[in-house]
Chain A
Amino acid sequence: MKDFWRKATTLLRVQYAYMVEYRAELLLWALSGSLPLILLGVWTQAAQRGQLGLSSLDFARYFLSVFIVRQLTVIWVVWEFEQQVVQGKLSPRLLLPIDPVWEHVASHVAERLARLPFIVGLAALFFVLYPGAFWIPSLGKFLLFLLVVASTFVLRFLMQYTFALFSFWTERASAIEEVWMIPYLFLSGLIAPLEVFPPLVREIALWLPFPYLVHFPASILVGLPVDVGRGLLVMLGWGGVFLVLNRWLWKKGLKQYSGMGA
């Protein structure tokens, strides 16, 4: 156990130092996730005219939460893993007495720590510009949000890492992720809260993993009504599917990889 903590903190410290080196880049990445803030403009404007079931204040809070959720759950493992496989950089890592996945996990977690000040800063700026939208979630809701957003992070990482494993067979595993991003973009609640979806589309979406990657955690933070139990179960279900697939592909892939003479 002691050994585990030592390994974990060392990995994190190294990755954190690396991340802080590129602070300017981190800020730019944070800014490139500005889509929710653009949509916030359109939806608050739309809510002032029509009956959408949500007020423009709800929309403002919702999209700020979406922005935060997205910042906390950005994943890029498929692009790094693909590079490592294609350029053969995976080989030395396989010799280490630790599964190479942990290096990626550590770099993602460390980046989140380095990014946190930007997120807080941007949220503060938002409330200065938009003081009417300020709200404080209850402690219970906030803790639940932390739990859910952590699960979202895990689920997204797991899914993308599973796609990454296809690098053993194809040179462009990231293309799979790019195609996967399309339903994510439109069904996750990123472009609009699920409340304004047509009922049928919403029902279908709720069985897929996508809404739990954006809409679910964001709604909890804002305090919109969601079925927490069902949400966690669906996440767990998809997580299980991807975990099994992931471990199977990893085993198969390693054989394939050494078969390439590496």
Chain B
Amino acid sequence: MPRWSRYFEVLKLFWSTALAAELEYRANFVLASISSSGNLLGSIFGLFLFYQKGNTFQGWTWEEAFLVLGVFTLLEGFSNTFLGPNLNKIVQHVQQGTLDFVLLKPISSQFWLSTRTLSPWGLPDLLFGLGMIGYAGGRLGLGVGDYLAGLVPLSFGLAILYSLWFILGATSIWFVKIYNVTEVLRGLLEAGRYPMAAYPAAYRFFFTFVVPVAFLTTVPAEVFLGRSQLLLLLEAGGLAGGLLLFAHRFWSFALRYYTSASS
């Protein structure tokens, strides 16, 4: 059996068991839906506050800014479903020494740590995000081609987000108790709610070159709208590829410093 198909089988097993386990807590789904809807209403209210009395973000109409918010919500759903439940546990594995067991398994430990589980409670956010993109896209008259084109930078954005999160999680090999680093990252990512044009120049620099939030929501939204700059798209692709590679290297580097709980 080729390697990738074995990974695929494992993934199917991981996710079906995770789902089965989570579905024991069905009341949680009600709560998750309430929080997601509340958050959605609040986000829209927040954006509305900027657009009262004829104000706009420079060069972004209400529908266009709404599209950015939709992409942001989608990313949030993605991180609540896939990234958070897995990557926040790296810290725990290091702290309790259970990382040993992961390392002994005959598959890539990065793969195991990144995909072991998933939480269906992020699903409402994913759906709301798609709904918002669909709504704004409908008002703006986007076609199938635009959506397909937008998928490219969107997947770059996902890859960037995953890599940053994983790299931060991996630093727990040295710092052990750094649960909050991912919280800092989450806090900074909030900036992705609004198009980069909404920020002063210094912020734009910071959110493009230091913490690449711009590539997560603004760039995909621009491609959806058909006003992409090829250069920016190439940068996003380069950054995504580079960060993925770096995350992988960084993990093997970090493992050299890992001394298990017993040794």
Contact = CB atoms under 8 A, between A and B. Distances in A.
Q: Do A and B bind each other?
A: yes
Contact of B31 (A33, A50, A179, A191): A179
Q: How large is the interface on A (under 10, 10 to 19, 20 to 34, 35 or more residues)?
A: 20 to 34
A52 B187 CA distance: 26
Contacts of B55: 46, 49-50, 52
A22 B175 CA distance: 11
A175 B28 contact: yes
B19 interface: no
A179 B194 contact: no
Interface residues of B, number: 35
Contacts of B58: 49
A178 B38 CA distance: 11
B260 interface: no
| Interface majority SS (helix, strand, loop, mixed), chain A | helix
B49 A196 contact: yes
A182 B35 contact: yes
Contacts of A22: 177
Given A46-B198, A197-B49, A34 B188 contact: yes
Given A42-B198, A50-B53, A196-B52, A32 B45 contact: no
| Interface majority SS (helix, strand, loop, mixed), chain B | helix
A51 interface: yes
A25, A44, A46, A183 — which one has the most chain B CB atoms within 10 A of its CB? A46
B2 interface: no
A24 interface: yes
A177 B143 CA distance: 42
A198 interface: yes
Interface string B182-225: 01101110110010001110010000000000000000000000
A147 B231 CA distance: 54
B38 A179 contact: yes
B98 interface: no
A45 B194 CA distance: 12
Interface of A: 22, 24-25, 28-29, 31-35, 38, 41-42, 44-46, 49-52, 172, 175, 178-179, 182-183, 185-186, 191-192, 196-198
24 contacts: A24-B178, A25-B178, A25-B180, A28-B178, A28-B184, A29-B180, A29-B183, A32-B183, A32-B187, A35-B187, A38-B190, A38-B203, A41-B191, A41-B198, A45-B200, A50-B55, A172-B28, A178-B31, A179-B38, A182-B35, A185-B42, A186-B42, A196-B49, A197-B49
